[in-house]
Structure 1
Amino acid sequence: MRQIILASASPRRKELLEQLIGDNFLVYASSYGEAPHPGLSPEELLIMHSFEKARDVAKHFDSGLVISADTSVLFNGELLGKPHSPEKAEEMLKKLSGQRFRVITGLTVLDLDSGEEISELESTIVWMTELSKEQISAYVRTGEPLDKAGAFAVQGKGAVLVERIEGDFFNAVGFPLFRLEKILQRVGVSVFEEGLS
């Protein structure tokens, strides 16, 4: 079986990859520092970040597949990443309240044996319900929004903020499993093969 390396410190991505291929993979967090690049579109930026994260981790391995992802919320042309403070989380949730927006992920798979590099974008449309100031404050007090892109977690308590989604649910969580499986197929890995679960 080929070695698979997840270039992410995200516990959610680790859980989702386990769901897809079992626990037979390594987790190696990237030290790549994401920086703004004014000339790139939001979509191009996320693809570039995922590629650079994967490339940073790939330096430490001679063979195998390196998988990386970078997810953000895109609203009115602006990327909303992780808020990192309760005030910023409240500000983001006020923006998204009652709105339709996209969760986009840049996804990269590097095949260190063949040299093949695949980077793709996944997009999911999300409709958030209208939130009162009290609801926003109460949700932020749970602490859940602080390390989530767009300040909400559709797989957590934030599920009650989301009226509906169109597209890959797992992309809204931060790891587009359907697209990942298609890429793995292209590099010769079947998620159904023995030894992967």
Structure 2
Amino acid sequence: MTKINKKIILASASKRRAEILLSCGIVHTIIPSGMDEIMDQTIPIKKIVLHNAKIKAEAVTKKVKNAVVISADTLVTHDGEIIGKPKDERDAKRLLKKFSGENIEVFTAIYIVDVTTSKKSYGVTKSDVRVAKINDKNINKIFPLLGPYDKAGGFSIEGAGSILFDDIRGSYFNILGLSMMALRRLFEKIGLDIIDFVTIPLQDKNS
């Protein structure tokens, strides 16, 4: 396996994105950008997520050396409305009720920068999700099972969420916030292979 001396920096505070990278054996350092994201119904959603991912990557790029910075931004659309993170629990429940029996679209932009070479690569991936019909009386019963609501659309398709969110078209990991297939293609565009950054743990000889 090719040895890569560059570090991977995740310019995001998203636990799910960090977990996805670690599940692939990619050790990384988390440096949240602290940048304010835009949310404007008059701007096409692809431009919004790409803008947000870009400013986060560029902010963190200034703080590191000999590294590849990865940033991402996810938003949801329903009936033409762009939906970000809910304001609070009440707003998250409102969104869950709104999505009941409906189709939603999940857009995630990924922006990467090789700090050493200044090469950049970026793209937007879309996935479609069908939300199961939920009776009003079951909203309060189901909501606590869906985990933290501090994410675009206020939902998670993991765990109990798999009971509600089905008929996925597109990347499952894109819905979680980081499509590894899309990330690999973006690495290739700047002359890198993400597989070279995978750290495979040594197997216990006694196992």
* TM-score, normalised with respect to structure 1: 0.91
C-alpha contact 1:129 1:162 (8 A) present in aligned 2? yes
C-alpha contact 1:32 1:56 (8 A) present in aligned 2? yes
- Match of residue 205 from structure 2: none
Separation in 1, partners of 2:146, 2:111: 30
SS at match of 1:40: coil
**1:123 and 2:144 correspond:** no
Separation in 2, partners of 1:40, 1:144: 30
- Match of residue 111 from structure 1: 114
Residue 44 of structure 1 deviates from its aligned partner by 0.4
C-alpha contact 2:11 2:30 (8 A) present in aligned 1? yes
C-alpha contact 1:108 1:117 (8 A) present in aligned 2? yes
Structure 2 gap segments, 5+ residues each: 201-207
1:174-189, aligned counterparts within 5 Å? 174-189=177-192
C-alpha contact 2:41 2:81 (8 A) present in aligned 1? no
Out of 8, 14, 31, the position equivalent to 2:12 is 8
**1:81 and 2:80 correspond:** no
Identical counterparts, % of pairs: 29
Q: Which amino acid aligns with 2:77?
A: L
- Match of residue 23 from structure 2: 19
Q: Which amino acid aligns with 2:37?
A: E
Residue 139 of structure 1 deviates from its aligned partner by 2.6
| Root mean square deviation of aligned Cα | 1.8
Separation in 2, partners of 1:194, 1:177: 13
- Match of residue 103 from structure 2: 100
Question: Which runs of structure 1 show a deviation greater than 6 angstroms over 4 or more consecutive aligned residues?
Answer: none
**1:40 and 2:43 correspond:** yes
Q: Note closer, same or farther for the CA distance 1:164–1:38 as it changes in structure 2 (3 Å cut).
A: closer
**Structure whose CA Rg is larger:** 2
Residue 148 of structure 1 deviates from its aligned partner by 2.3
Q: Note closer, same or farther for the CA distance 1:38–1:165 as it changes in structure 2 (3 Å cut).
A: closer
SS at match of 1:102: strand
C-alpha contact 2:146 2:155 (8 A) present in aligned 1? no
- Match of residue 56 from structure 1: 59
Separation in 2, partners of 1:14, 1:27: 8
**1:163 and 2:163 correspond:** no
